[in-house]
Structure 1
């Protein structure tokens, strides 16, 4: 029962989601599954393959290097995984936009049910996953011979990036299937930490009232804390913040060490995206706001007075 983890990388280094997915694989291994192999499919991606080889717990790295993987097109990556799938009982993807794009293709071709967004490993065939926006946890057992799994990365500790000595095996890269082509990309550049990987996140809600107030209050506080900036869907819909800052069921799932929610009421969809944070601080003038039900520290106050005072105190 060997495990295959599909790595996400930038061709030079591994993304944090990969380390958390390997962390889930380690839980599977402890539950009775076999060795952990990591697939690094890329173009001139020797750096990422070497990084994967150093991760503690990894037994082997499979390095598929070719032009077809230059832009991580889902069709080509799925074909690469399927070329290897026969030797593995568990195939794990991070539950990121990229992982969710590839995993269903693999599951469909293997004619197995996908196990989505797992948050705990019970045994080699049984897992937990959230349903109803995280209000209930389903225990799912699969009788399929192979398990295609997406892993909620915030639910598992990252595997140590150092300490491993896995062998790197070069394997043939699949040819471009021609089903899609890379046209271009526009990447948002920021000096701040990536939202899903940040240790501290400061998020603002609709109560801030405008994009100007959002920037005036949230940005200085985030600067003082060295934090990534997030936003509720209401704030994004109102134009206070860009879409890629949205935290919640239809945005990004985060679990930082510290999450500061400013002017966020705590709708169930938002809580689904941040309630696993280690420490939650809520600032809201409504004592009945649902955010206080999950907050470790709550400040019932006018955010327009409290946030500048907090920023100044820091």
Structure 2
């Protein structure tokens, strides 16, 4: 068996989700190849080649791939798909955009958001917002799989010695065009991969009140997150949303402030190693998953916690 992992990157740096996806692929067994598709990406390919467990890196460098348009990236994957028994994508926004197109073109079923590999054709994945775990067997000749990256420990970024093989880049599919990109800039860690996350919910009351979390996040070196209710209310930007329809996180420490613990939110953070909850409602569902819970007024408790740190 030979497995193809689709690298996620920004044309300059390999994203950590790729290393988690390689770890999942390694549990299948067989050689692992990584496809790096973009423009001006030699440095990214070199990074992928150093990842532990990678046998070969395929480098597709062309203008049609510069902006990661899903149609063009899918075409690049399909151009090499015939050589592989498994095609793995990280279950990120980018991976979820490309994988279904590849599966549809190959006329195979997609296995989404896997959290374990039971055998080369059998996987587990959460369903019903994580309240049940389904065991899925894929009988297709080519298995197209997306990986919940928080479920697999990343392979080492250094130590590998894979070869880098340039391949012919596909042309523009002509069905979509890149218009622009607005990138949120922050000095804080990226939410999806941060070791510590401080999240606020509807209990924060307003966008202005949300700022009370800044000193706590600064002290902990944490990324800031939010519940869907807080995002919908305009307290926090969309890219902070943690939950089933937001980002799935599993940091070493997750601090939930003013979050009741709706099932949608719990699905996105309950795999965190240590969960701390601060809420004035002792019956809030968040306390059911919290390792440490504080029933208190957050506007008093958070500043006191910052002072204690």
TM range (shorter): over 0.9
Size of the alignment, in residue pairs? 309
The match for 1:113 is 109
How far 1:266 sits from its partner (Å)?
Answer: 0.3
RMSD of Structure 2 on Structure 1 (CA):
0.7
Determine the C-alpha separation between the residues in 2 that align with 1:208 and 1:73: 37
Q: Which runs of 5+ in 1 are unaligned?
A: none
How far 1:12 sits from its partner (Å)?
Answer: 2.1
The match for 2:12 is 12
The match for 2:210 is 214
The match for 1:231 is 226
Determine the C-alpha separation between the residues in 1 that align with 2:139 and 2:230: 43
The match for 1:36 is 32
How far 1:246 sits from its partner (Å)?
Answer: 0.7
Q: Secondary structure at the match of 1:255?
A: coil
Determine the C-alpha separation between the residues in 1 that align with 2:205 and 2:42: 48
- 1:102 equivalent to 2:101? Answer no
How far 1:311 sits from its partner (Å)?
Answer: 0.6
Q: Secondary structure at the match of 1:28?
A: coil
The match for 1:284 is 279
Q: Please give the per-residue CA displacement for 1:94-149, whole angstroms capped at 9, x wherever unaligned.
A: 00111001000000010100000000000000000000000000000011111000
- 1:259 equivalent to 2:254? Answer yes
Determine the C-alpha separation between the residues in 2 that align with 1:213 and 1:107: 45
State how 1:1-314 maps to structure 2 within 5 Å.
Answer: 1-29=1-29, 34-215=30-211, 217-314=212-309
Give the TM-score normalised by structure 1: 0.97
Determine the C-alpha separation between the residues in 1 that align with 2:155 and 2:55: 13
Q: Which runs of 5+ in 2 are unaligned?
A: none
Give the TM-score normalised by structure 2: 0.99
Q: Please give the per-residue CA displacement for 1:190-232, whole angstroms capped at 9, x wherever unaligned.
A: 11111001010000011111111111x2111101111000001
Determine the C-alpha separation between the residues in 1 that align with 2:241 and 2:91: 17
